Amino acid sequence: MVAEGTKRRVHFFLRAIGFLTAGAILFGGVAAYSSFPKTPLLGAAYGALSGALQGIAISLVIVGTEVFLPRTRLGLTLERAPFFVTLAIKTFVYSAVILLVVGSKLGRWLSASLILGSDAAQVVMRPGALPVQVTMAVAFIVMLVAILLIQISGLVGASTLRNILLGRYHRSRIEERFFLFVDIVGSTPLAERLGPASVHAFLNRVFQIASDPIDDHGGEVYQYVGDEVVITWTLAQGRTAARPIACYFAIQRAIESAAKDFEREFGTVPRLRAALHAGPVITGEVGGSRRAIVFHGDVMNTTSRLENATRELQRSFLASGEALSRVEAKHGYRMTDLGQQALRGRSEPVRVYAVELRAEAQESPTRQRTGT
């Protein structure tokens, strides 16, 4: 069975190629229109077809590298390099591809031959027949912008970057959100045993493994705090298929799948604790030289206190009644009512539930992913 993360990456890969190719077709048709004054429509048609071939060839390499290479050993090594080193290497490689496909006589002749045949291709290879320099300039600009956006989104998060660029939270707004706090159990004694460098590698590996399940379930990483990751959904995003609950168990499964690697490298397998709560927060941009989108409200504090309560109540996953009342398709999970619990720092008690997978859901990964 194909993993959800793989499906998501393939879908993005196909959409990105389609989008970039459509842009290349439009640009190729417009640019070539005036290059054939006697037959401008035929010139535009040729330009569009040539743009399609060149767009597919270039985007296959660039998009394929950006989507699939990071999952490989080489990709992980490249992503760990300094930002400008990674940017320089990608720019060099992608520029070479653009030069070969668009700027070289071989690339243009192959493109023309595929469309018109080898004899007719000589007609459009004459100097000035097509605006090669302009095409290359546009391709380079699009490539640099795409690389920068991809690299920056990896640093701040795709959702945060998109919201900042669109100015969605220039003015703060009230939102109903889910917050899932996932904590790694026993990281302090592990740090004492392994040392800071190894425990950093350990935590980084856990967070990398958690990344796919979070993306698969539409979650947004708000922040990493020590050995804890804070994940959030809007009410509309998280309600369907109990996504915040399903996300936690998907992370747990992903960690279990990598148990042998953890045991071999660190001598231990990560164990998780988590807490889920939901309610209204104020969402908005803050900061000057460094901008960020932050959430303010009692929901954050309550979720943190709920996560602390997992130790006292000896449960691995606790959810508030407020959160569970807002999600759909909960019947794949067993909810044990632990009653009203007084949480540290809160004057009012909170109805708390321990959440576990039902036995039949444990046996069915498909049902477990969807929360049904």
**pLDDT tens-digit profile of 314-324?**
999 999 999 99
pLDDT digits (tens, 9 = 90+) for 136-176: 788 888 888 887 777 777 666 677 777 777 777 888 899 99
Where is the domain boundary, 124, 156, 188? 156
In-domain check, residue 162: no
Contact assessment for residue 21 and residue 55, using Cβ atoms and an 8 Å cutoff = yes
Token pair 């399609």 is found at 52
Burial (0-12, 13-18, 19+ Cβ within 10 Å), 166: exposed
User: Residue 190 phi/psi, 5° resolution?
Assistant: -65, -40
Same domain, 129 and 24: yes
pTM: 0.74
**Residue range of the domain that includes 63:** 4-156
Do 132 and 173 belong together in one domain?
Answer: no
Asked if 329 contacts 371 with a C-beta cutoff of 8 angstroms, the reply is yes
Give the helix/strand (H/E) hosting 56.
helix 40-68
Token readout for 257 is 């799948």
Distances (CA, A) of 360 to 3, 249, 333, 369, 371: 20, 14, 10, 13, 11
* Final residue before a domain boundary, out of 127, 156, 185: 156
Give percent of the chain with pLDDT exceeding 70: 84
38 versus 205: which is more confidently predicted?
Answer: 205
Pair 227, 111 in one domain:
no
Same domain, yes or no: 189 and 118: no
Confidence bin at 293 (pLDDT 50/70/90): confident
Give tens-digit pLDDT for 330-354. Answer: 888 999 999 999 888 777 899 999 9
Identify the residue whose tokens are 């842009």.
23
User: Taking residues 38-44, what's their average pLDDT?
Assistant: 71
Q: Is residue 161 part of a domain?
A: no
* pLDDT above 70: residue 122: no
Asked if 286 and 169 touch (Cβ cutoff 8 Å), the reply is: no
- H-helix or E-strand spanning residue 180: strand 173-184
Residues 6+ apart with CB under 8 A from 194: 202, 266, 267
Distance CA 350, CA 322 (A): 9
